[in-house]
A and B are shown apart, each in its own frame.
Chain A
């Protein structure tokens, strides 16, 4: 087993100069197409009445679940974070769950994908922070409680981004590889159980990635909330009760 077998990036279908279409990109497109087509088909004729189609119902449950999770973590209105966090969850969960399809390699098993997603989170955190509490306020967060904490804050940002990407990559890569290895050792039944376990860990990983991203973003927007709390304690209490 060499490095080629670990990462789907090494399976290149088409190459022109720097541009190479490998399995990671291809399957990412497949998942993107799948998600967009399903969404488009279902939301093509949405009903705002009490009666609604099963697919709409399913999507509504999904979106509402994401919304509730975000609200539980951020203690704020979730609409702003839904597109980012929801897409993270749906994309990772989709790419992980499709692992049961033979011949498919999850894009999340590539460190390039997970790194790309972690970089997105790494960039999104300051953006949401600045958006919610202003540029200076956000930057001031890095020198709290003292200026000496600045390097630790920066190290923390970087390391958690690395951890995010490596956690997902490790889990997904190992999941698919363990399946292959076990197939060599015990060809009957056991791989099936491992596949089931793989589906479970895939979903859990998607959940963990999305929740962690949300936690990072929420912590960046946290100071603003604290200031709010000082100014209007009663109102915030109300909000807390509502969210709880």
Chain B
């Protein structure tokens, strides 16, 4: 007999024991572990999904914030650029105005200096020339020359037109005062006599003449009536010379100004020239 019944029963029991043991030691534990792992993985996946969603949201909000910041910064930047541009223009304008101011002030001061210098020069040159001339004439003045001066004066009176000399002397006739003849030197008695005679001839009556000396006349002689004056003096020549020299210097200064002039300086120059004219007229 191939089947031993005791062995069969023993094997059935063995098998059932094995089923129980393996159920406890193998299947139960392994399946439980796997289930737990599956749950964990599912949980992790869920967490990961959630985190991913969170991250996406965060990224989205961050991106939006970035865009906002960028826009804001762009705005601020453009504003700043605009402000800087405005400020720059302002500064440039201010600097330009200031520069123009400075320039015109400078021009003014230069002009003034120039004018002052020219005036000084003119005055100095004039006074020097006149001083020299005066000294020269004073030094030269002697009796002969003084006589010549008186002669020239008499000649001058004689050559005056008739109506003009009449005018002078009719006005004299109306007064009671003496005729006054002032001269830089003592007129010699013969010459006094000649002069008196000449005047008497012109007025057609005897007159009394009072002779005075005035050194400032420089070789000059003058006849004064109330309201009129007949004079011959070197002082006049010198004054004419002085005027001519002043005009020459002024015109020279104007030429220099025109050479240096720029468009901005037109006004200053004009003012200067006006001043010059004023000076000239004065």
Contacts and interface: CB of A to CB of B under 8 A. Distances in A.
Interface of A: 3, 6-7, 9, 18-20, 22, 24-25, 28-29, 32, 35-36, 39-40, 43, 46-50, 56, 59-60, 63-64, 67, 79, 82-84, 86-87, 90-91, 107, 110-113, 115-117, 119-120, 169
A112 B1 CA distance: 10
Nearest to A79: B31
B25 A32 contact: no
26 contacts: A3-B2, A7-B4, A9-B2, A19-B6, A20-B7, A22-B7, A24-B7, A25-B10, A35-B21, A35-B26, A43-B25, A48-B33, A48-B34, A49-B37, A56-B30, A59-B26, A59-B30, A63-B26, A82-B31, A107-B11, A112-B3, A112-B5, A113-B11, A116-B7, A116-B8, A120-B16
Interface string B36-49: 11001100000000
Query: Range of interface residues on chain B?
Result: 20 to 34
For B11, B21, B23, the residue with the greatest tally of chain A CB atoms inside 10 Å of its CB is: B11
Interface string B84-114: 0000000000000000000000000000000
Contact of A18 (B3, B6, B15, B36): B6
A116 B19 contact: no
Given A7-B2, A49-B37, A32 B30 contact: no
A64 B26 contact: no
Contacts of A18: 6
A86 B24 CA distance: 13
A21 B202 CA distance: 200
Contact of B22 (A7, A25, A35, A60): A35
B211 interface: no
Given A63-B31, A83-B23, A111 B15 contact: no
Contacts of B5: 112
A1 to B, nearest CB: 14
A48 B12 contact: no
B2 A116 contact: no
B9 interface: yes
B62 interface: no
A6 B6 contact: no
A50 B7 contact: no
B213 to A, nearest CB: 142
Given A60-B33, A79-B31, 12 more contacts: A35-B21, A35-B22, A47-B33, A48-B32, A48-B36, A50-B37, A63-B34, A67-B31, A83-B20, A112-B5, A115-B3, A119-B12
Contacts of A64: 34
B30 A6 contact: no
A90 B6 CA distance: 23
A114 B20 CA distance: 19
Contacts of B32: 46, 48
Nearest to B25: A39
Contacts of B2: 3, 6-7, 9, 111-112, 169
A-B CB proximity, top 7 nearest:
A116-B11, A48-B36, A112-B7, A83-B23, A39-B25, A43-B29, A39-B26
Contacts of A35: 18, 21-22, 26
Nearest to B1: A3
Nearest to B9: A116
Contact of A25 (B3, B7, B37): B7
B8 A56 contact: no
A87 B15 contact: yes
Nearest to B6: A18
A63 B30 contact: yes
Contacts of B18: 32, 35-36, 87, 91
A36 B6 CA distance: 24
A130 B85 CA distance: 97
A243 to B, nearest CB: 18
A63 B34 CA distance: 10
B17 interface: yes
Nearest to A66: B27
Contacts of A56: 30, 33
Given A35-B18, A59-B26, A9 B4 contact: yes
Contact of A28 (B14, B29, B31): B14
A40 to B, nearest CB: 5
Given A84-B19, A87-B22, A46 B11 contact: no
A24 B30 contact: no
